[in-house]
Structure 1
Amino acid sequence: MRIIIAIIFCCFSVFGFPQNDKTFEQANALYNEGKYAEAIDKYESILKSEVHSAELYYNLGNANYKLNNVAPSIYYFEKALQLNPNDKDIENNLSFAQQMTIDAIDKVPEVGFSRIINNVVNTFKVDTWAKIAIGGVIIFVLLFLMYHFSYATSQKRIAFIISVLSLLIACFSMAMAFQKESLNKKDNPAIVFSQESKVKAEANQKSEEVFRLHEGTKVQVLDTYEDWNKIELSDNSTGWIPSKDIKLLK
């Protein structure tokens, strides 16, 4: 259930918690009363009890947005989107929050064969690709048995053709599942929480500064060395940032 709060230009709302948690209801009540900082404290107390949900992160994002907390609002909307990637409300509110950021970073578009493959791979989750592969194998086995024990030539031909297609689909889906898993492992996003952070060419303070980032910017973490993280931006720029300046989304 959503308790709608109307604001100028857009509408931000809080979700009802599936478990009907009393603390969550109290946090929602505080949110509706405009006591956003107190609502955040209540929501975060739920997180400390190891309870996570898209609804909880969504409400935390909204409460922080109301207080103009750029990095936390983006962070929590991103966390909500990880758990519920097809939710349009989360996507829209994340877009509003991102408009508060300072850094304007271009995204290098994927082109050619790589773009096609990644689009296909990202069509389903790893589990879905795996289920398709298992289904293909089962169909292959059943139709192969039908082919083996059937006496009619037409039935044997149909069973053979479909069984081969099923096997090909199973192999293709398995390959996509492995590729999706590989992409998931490489995907290590983080949000800059420091108001301004100097990104260095190497993992030390004396190194040359290559650029600066500001709160709310999303980065990809490529490597870690002591108290530093090597990051990459959507325009393929790379550098080393102090670990304390970012917060990992995973």
Structure 2
Amino acid sequence: MTSRRALGRRHGLAIAALPAVALALVPTLAPASETGPPSATGVASPQEAAPAATPADRFQAGNSLYQAGDHEGAIEAWLGLYEDGFESGELHYNIGNAYFRLGELGRAILFYERASVALPRDESVRTNLELARSMTADQITPLPGFWVPRVVAWAVQLVPRGWLIAILALGYLGLASILLYRLLSTGPPRWTRHAAIAAAALTVVVGTNLLIREFGIGRAERGVILQTEAAVQSAPSDDPSLQLFTIHEGAVVRIDRRSSDWLEIVLEDGKVGWVRAGDLETI
């Protein structure tokens, strides 16, 4: 399998096979330098003589391990990238696939959920997430949601991120050009005023959309239960008499409040309770 040069949609993937994909990783923060300082004698140290593998090489190494059936090795390679600060929807998707192969349903769902945040329109991610969630012990029926949040969420994700960035850049350039023209002209045409208003409005709308997507503004904090079974309490206490019910690995919950080592969660069917913070991991 060859490495792809762009982060984008995967083509020709068999969903049932839960394949790994290759990509050129885009780091969200630079990893620490892996080379040592120059030697006192001026001779290259072993670290300098053997340059560290690039993120793309490390990703491809994980792909090779996955294809060879070494899913634990693939996870180790990919998680090393993730822990070094490299992140992408495709990386999360691959980690989810490997965990699924190992039967670790909770972590598979966790990384599929993370992939779906980065790739909300990706059919492969959505299909694999639905498959994994259908295999959980808790078959929770979500409450019908109010239509306004659904419409807003749909509108925010309607335009791909790359297009939003391009439109925003064009809006800024257009607005700056029109304003500069009006400043330098002795009698600018009336249409330039309307064009400047339109460019400014476009820039504000697209910029706001991009900010909401990039920073998760208004997005509820969610988590996935990773323990085989977790007790849900009516209060942040281990008192057995306060236990309401239990939930199991792979359940997706909303996190409403925190109290020391406890989290107040809301299930998709509306049930509310407290669990130990160590029972889940945030998406």
TM over 0.5: yes
The structure richer in strand per residue is 1
Q: Deviations over 1:117-164 (max 9, x none)?
A: 44333445899768756754654454456567475xxx8343333333
Aligned length: 241
In structure 2, do the counterparts of structure 1 residues 35 and 138 end up closer, same or farther at CA, with 3 Å as the change threshold? closer
Letter in 1 for 2:228: Q
Contact 1:147 1:157 in 2 (8 A): no
Letter in 1 for 2:114: K
Letter in 2 for 1:231: I
Contact 1:229 1:242 in 2 (8 A): yes
> For 1:10, which of 7, 16, 20 is the aligned residue?
16
The reply to whether residue 78 of structure 1 matches residue 113 of structure 2 is yes
The reply to whether residue 36 of structure 1 matches residue 80 of structure 2 is no
User: TM-score, structure 2 length as denominator?
Assistant: 0.66
The structure richer in helix per residue is 1
Q: Which portions of structure 1, spanning 4 or more consecutive aligned residues, are displaced by more than 6 angstroms?
A: 125-131
- Once the 2 structures are TM-superposed, how far is the Cα of residue 45 of structure 1 from its aligned partner? 4.4
5+ residue gaps, structure 1 = none
**Cα RMSD (Å) of the superposition?**
3.7
Range with bigger deviation, 49-58 or 173-182: 173-182
State how far apart, in whole Å, the 2-side matches of 1:139 and 1:21 are: 40
> For 1:89, which of 124, 137, 155 is the aligned residue?
124
Identity percentage of aligned residues:
22
> For 1:65, which of 100, 109, 122 is the aligned residue?
100
List aligned pairs for 1:90-239, cutoff 5 A: 90-123=125-158, 136=171, 139-140=174-175, 142-143=177-178, 149=185, 156-173=189-206, 176=209, 183-184=216-217, 186-206=219-239, 208-239=242-273
Contact 2:211 2:217 in 1 (8 A): no
- Once the 2 structures are TM-superposed, how far is the Cα of residue 217 of structure 1 from its aligned partner? 1.1
State how far apart, in whole Å, the 1-side matches of 2:152 and 2:130 are: 27
Range with bigger deviation, 215-224 or 164-173: 164-173
Give the aligned partner of residue 21 of structure 1. 57
User: TM-score, structure 1 length as denominator?
Assistant: 0.74
State how far apart, in whole Å, the 1-side matches of 2:141 and 2:152 are: 22
